[in-house]
Structure 1
Amino acid sequence: MNETHKLLAVVEDDEAFARTLCRSFERRDYQVIQAKSYDQLAELLERHVPDYAVVDLKLEGSSGLTCVQALRDISDDMKIVVLTGYASIATAVEAIKLGADYYLAKPSNTDDIEAAFARDDEGDASIDIHARQSSLKTLEWEHIHQTLMETGFNVSETARRLGMHRRTLARKLEKRQLR
């Protein structure tokens, strides 16, 4: 990553986080363009083709997955990292299917993101798979989210498939918002 002025698109609706991320990458010789939504990204993509992109999974009013798809449509070589505060297996799989190269859970910093950009496409079989075990709550949330996706986010059908009362599922969803 020695070349200067690599173009990076940051798609993030949290202004404070986006500002910090942009400044940090600018200090590392990236030229940064920033969008808060899919519509803003679409406008930027009419004038720019980024080399790299960092996309928040949950944008106000839309999904970052639509941004991932738009970015991938304009360049097969672009490195795309999806960030989310609510990581799940289901959203990770969808992000990768739509063209993301990597999926990182927040809090991730510039070093984490740049390390993801630097990875090759071959994968790394030496990664320690026991480094971070999921808690029971995380596994439950991932299972709920996967079932929600399978049912098209139909809460009643999801509750039926999970064998729980609809109100119980609704309470669980209120505690941990979908992102």
Structure 2
Amino acid sequence: MNSPTPHVGRVAAVLFDRDGTLVEDVPYNGDPARVRPLPGARRALDLLRAAGIPTGVVSNQSGIGRGLLTDTDVRRVNDRANTLLGGLDTWLYCPHSPEAGCGCRKPRPGLVIEAARRLGVAPADCVVIGDIATDVQAARAAGARGVLVPNAATLPGEVETAPSTAPDLLTAVRRLLTETRGGRS
């Protein structure tokens, strides 16, 4: 397994994938009642808030481009997740289908760059935490740091090639906070 912390740098903001990272992955979910935070997600966000580190969500939502969801559906799901998780500072999503070739769909850097801009930080000072390779690839493409938190949907090869991994979201955030404090716990 890769080193959990390949390099230590300033952490000015932490961006998260939504489905499979912060909340249970319900494919093409347009129903806010089906939103369930993953274990440790609220606590991880509480720790970041207490440390004064801005947070955001960067999520592919191809169901819109495929005609399976509406923009309103995604916003309602995001609003419910935001409420259950205690509030994040910015929410961005790509509404395009994979075939659209847009610059915002992960693994491209558009969502990460825009989230950093909205938070007033440099992409290089952001960490992106997600559950699949496209999350860490988007981080890399934007000049940010990526951390993979594997789950059942994560392919073994994605874990092997990830620059940084953590066994769960809370551990990932605790490691980042330890680094931010200069190695002090």
TM-score (norm 1): 0.44
Q: TM-score, normalised by structure 2?
A: 0.43
Structure number with the higher strand fraction is 1
Give the structure with higher Rg (CA). 1
Instruction: Name whichever structure is richer in helix by fraction.
Output: 1
